[in-house]
Structure 1
């Protein structure tokens, strides 16, 4: 499974399968979110966009926000069952779409805050480690058929529009006449 396509339902199922493990998040090579982290909120973000080909796109993202306190304490990270209790509390107040994409939002004093996809989730000893990788920019028009050409105009939808310039021979025209187009 491509983890950037991981749904909220699949993510929860992976957590439910490992309630007694410690939940860790790897945000960079050899860098884990400090074990003293908190899940500060879970966001439901319905998104509507119009892409460069003029097509409306709709999807929902569920974003889990992690916060790392200033005074890092180390030790063991929260257990998965604690994370699930937070999720259950959120789901009592907010309906979360099982088909929504999952992202994790994190940043600290050395890592700018960003939303990342779980790229892998694996058991390592007593830890369930969620490996995070940044989202990438994509052209949705290309995903519709291998081309970024608009159907109705036959033009490249991502190519900047070049203004058409009309050249006027000023020697042949009195440019100060009303309606001459040069002023």
Structure 2
């Protein structure tokens, strides 16, 4: 998960609710726009639980809004924000979405491999609400804990699990509790 300021579901939804009469546009790269005939095909909620390279457990929730461009354009004008909100309302009837979930927009077409991107800036331009999408990047979670990624100056790996200090176990003295009498030895007849 990237350490930049991420948009939560409650912020994303509130931004839409503040602009219901605008047209909803997505820009996925410089001068590259999701075609106006796009559809919101689904909204997914993904609880993520992971263990990083340092042995630390992490968890968060992602809300993924999937966009699809049909092969045949069926609209010259992008979806109104109010229509997107009606899809959100329909989804939330069946699936309560975590308000603190991190929003990602999933999109791809024949010129752009499908990927999940973060909503960056929300911009109002004329009658449009433009959501500029920004890519995610992988990173070592040790950095977010104040560590560094790689090998430290002393040669230790930053991501290595914390080693437990071994405490010396007490020594146990074994005593022979059998008296000096008959014992069960092969050929003694005790068995």
**TM-score for the superposition, normalised by structure 1:** 0.79
Matched, 1:86 2:87: yes
Residues in 2 aligned to 1:55 and 1:89: alpha-carbon distance in whole angstroms: 37
Query: Does the C-alpha gap of structure 1 residues 3 and 16 become closer, same or farther in structure 2, counting only changes over 3 Å?
Result: farther
Which deviations, in whole Å up to 9, do the C-alpha atoms of 1:45-99 show, x marking residues without a partner?
A: 0000111111000000000000000123552101000000000000000010000
Contact 1:65/1:106, CA 8 A, preserved across alignment: yes
Q: Secondary structure at the match of 2:146?
A: coil
Separation of aligned partners in 1, 2:5 and 2:24: 19
Q: Helix, strand or coil for the counterpart of 2:67? A: strand
Q: In 1, Cα distance between the equivalents of 2:5 and 2:64? A: 13
Residue aligning to 1:21: 22
Q: Tell me what 2:183 maps to.
A: none
CA RMSD of aligned residues (A): 2.0
Query: Structure 2: which 5+ residue stretches go unaligned?
Result: 161-191
Deviation at 1:157, TM superposition (A): 3.7
Unaligned runs of 5+ in 1: 160-183
Partner of 1:116, secondary structure, is strand
Aligned to 1:97: 98
Aligned pairs (5 A) from 1:48-127? 48-73=49-74, 75-127=76-128
Instruction: Output the CA distance in 1 between the equivalents of 2:83 and 2:100.
Output: 23
Aligned residues: 155
Contact 1:46/1:61 (<8 A) preserved? yes
After TM superposition, the structure 1 stretch with the greater mean CA deviation from structure 2, 139-148 or 15-24, is: 139-148
Contact 2:148–2:158, Cα closer than 8 Å, also in 1: no
Q: 1:150-161 residue pairs with structure 2 within 5 A?
A: 155-158=156-159
Structure with the greater alpha carbon radius of gyration: 2
Displaced runs of 4+ in structure 1, greater than 4 A? none
3-state SS, counterpart of residue 140 of structure 1: coil
In the superposition, the TM-score normalised over structure 2's length comes to 0.76
Residue in 1 that maps onto 2:34: 33
